[in-house]
Homo-oligomer: A and B are copies of this chain.
Amino acid sequence: MRYPVDQRAETHEKIIGAASRSFRERGSEGKSIATLMKDLGLTHGGFYKHFESKEELYLDAIQRGLEEAGDRMTAAAKAAPKGKELRAVIEHYLSPAHLEHVGAGCVIAAIAQEIGRQPLSVREKINDAMRAYMNRLFPFMPGDNVAEKRRQFLILFPGMAGVLMTARAMTNSSAQKEMLSAARKFYLEAFVEKIEK
């Protein structure tokens, strides 16, 4: 049957959105194409009208995930009072909400380890998206010049990602919260408080 004009594009976007969440929550092999499509009220055959392979979807979904995560972080910064941008970014990143919502959160904290196991060509494209993410956020970092801001970013963000990922591996939720708040305090002191005064 003939479908409404915009339906193709809408379905395409819905698949990427659902995959982006699913890959972060369950990894690249956690959900089959059939299940992914079924969750959207579709059948698996139609998938190949939108993507050449699951790997192509993986790339699109991860890139989308990094864009969305970048949106959230820059939005948090821009909503903060002048001079408090980095504080807001750290508090958002190391928040209980981010701990809980893997599927909508930082891609690195969710699936960096399986990114490291992808074929080189996949890793390179994801690296481009990671660089774009960094380029949106390093301006909020302390430092006099671009090189210093980037250097600070590359210490702070991987560190925070490690905290989130380790907390998520733990089962004791009060220990998770303690870890988060201890890390929040540490990174705020190390990156923000020496600046704000």
Contacts and interface: CB of A to CB of B under 8 A. Distances in A.
Contacts of A186: 155, 190
Contact of A151 (B109, B170, B182): B182
User: On chain A, which size bracket covers the interface?
Assistant: 35 or more
Interface in A32-63: none
Nearest to A154: B179
Contacts of A114: 27, 113-114
A108 interface: yes
Chain copies in complex: 2
Q: Give the dominant DSSP class at A's interface.
A: helix
Contacts of A166: 108, 112, 157-158, 161-162
A69 interface: no
Nearest to A158: B166
Given A155-B183, A160-B162, A171 B27 contact: no
Contacts of A30: 117
A172 B128 CA distance: 11
A168 interface: yes
A76 interface: no
B171 A123 contact: yes
Interface string A110-151: 111111110010011011001000000000000000000001
Interface of A: 25-27, 29-30, 102, 108-117, 120, 123-124, 126-127, 130, 151, 154-155, 157-163, 165-172, 178-179, 182-183, 186, 190
